[in-house]
Amino acid sequence: MPEGADAATFQITEEAFTDDGVMINSRFLDGLKPKAAFEEVANRLSSETINGRPVGERKVNFRLRDWGVSRQRYWGCPIPMIHCDDCGVVPVPKSDMPVKLPDDIDFEKPGNPLDRHPTWKHVKCPKCGGDARRETDTMDTFVDSSWYFARFTAPWENDPTDPKAANEWLPVDQYIGGIEHAILHLLYSRFFARAMSATGHLDVAEPFKGLFTQGMVVHETYRAEDGRWLAPNEIELSGSGDDRKAVEIATGEPASIGSLEKMSKSKKNTVSPEDIIESFGADTARWFMLSDSPPERDVEWTDDGATGAHRFVQRVWRLVSEVADHVRGVAPKAAHEALPLRLRRRRTRP
């Protein structure tokens, strides 16, 4: 409950209280702020004993896992290591950095194109001068994106960063990405920022001031009786609510309607932008995505929703057409002067 409220009379309503506040209905934690409550729980668990042993111990858990950074593909920073039969793995000397990718690359065959390149990987060992091989794996692109925002503050520098420039520009004001990035990439880049602060390349505790994870476009999934995924244009829908039914057009057999999922090729629950633009136009597609839900929430793509957005776009068009004759000859206003004007729909009473 909010701080200062009376636990005896405080009413829990339909709407959650989402600020920090103080604990209620939590026995020995009542009246404590969350941080103090964490402490109290940890203290109790570590001081109480069962059969002479503490019930628990205080420990910080990090969710950062080991990360395999090598990839067998062309697009990525080369890993600057050289393999020598006599000396083992030898780092590329600083004077030979950066290792550049070859431009004449062949993507036609499967496998790692760098490994197949006729000359790129053949080098001399920096230690003994004998024949050796370059590492042909490249780094996961998250390695670059975990710190490039620091590099961008002084891209002309010979060193990884100019700490003065980096400290002036960072932290980044707003990080925008999908929720899948919020778990891995966000942790990696925070880890990089800590490491770079320890090595003197940077002096920030956290690399990002704000995080915004935008929603995804989701769509129902459909499956034939034998388990095949079916695309929205392969089925015919009828009914509404609990009585909605789907039929596979090609076979006439009933299909099952599954959960809302992020659009993916494997589940075939995609609607191509070309189809949407073909049937409704690009304005409708844009309007539907912007109007259907706030940017942090998922947008459920439905034909009904798109049709609704299309009707709205047409209504605006009709309104402008009707007004056009009356405003002919009126000088246009600059956008900032016209801003307070809003287009409103007048509700008609029944």
36-44, 78-86, 105-113, 236-244 -> range binding Zn ion (CB under 5 A):
78-86
| Strands 299-300, 217-223: pairing kind | parallel
**Which position among 41, 87, 99, 165 is part of the footprint of Zn ion (CB under 5 A)?**
87
Closest CB 80 distance from Zn ion, rounded Å: 16
Closest CA to 150 of 195, 88, 84, 181: 195
Q: Which is nearer to Zn ion, 32 or 90 (CB)?
A: 90
Closest CB 94 distance from Zn ion, rounded Å: 18
Closest CA to 189 of 207, 167, 209, 171: 207
Using DSSP's 3-state secondary structure scheme, residue 108 falls into coil
Q: Which is nearer to Zn ion, 132 or 235 (CB)?
A: 132
Q: Which is nearer to Zn ion, 129 or 252 (CB)?
A: 129
Q: Which is nearer to Zn ion, 71 or 127 (CB)?
A: 127
Closest CA to 102 of 124, 138, 74: 74
Closest CB 101 distance from Zn ion, rounded Å: 23
Q: Which is nearer to Zn ion, 130 or 295 (CB)?
A: 130
Q: Which residue has the tokens 């409220």?
A: 5
Gap between the Cα atoms of 244 and 222, Å rounded: 12
Kindly report the CA angle at 250 between 244 and 256, in degrees rounded to 5? 30
Residues constituting the chain: 350
Site string for Zn ion, 177-216 (x = CB under 5 A): ----------------------------------------
84 is a contact residue toward Zn ion (CB under 5 A) = yes
Name residues contacting Zn ion, limited to 281-320 (CB under 5 A).
none
Contacts (Cβ under 8 Å, ≥6 apart) of 3: 20, 21, 22, 33
Name residues contacting Zn ion, limited to 96-155 (CB under 5 A).
125, 127-128
* Contact residues for Zn ion, defined by CB under 5 A: 84, 86-87, 125, 127-128
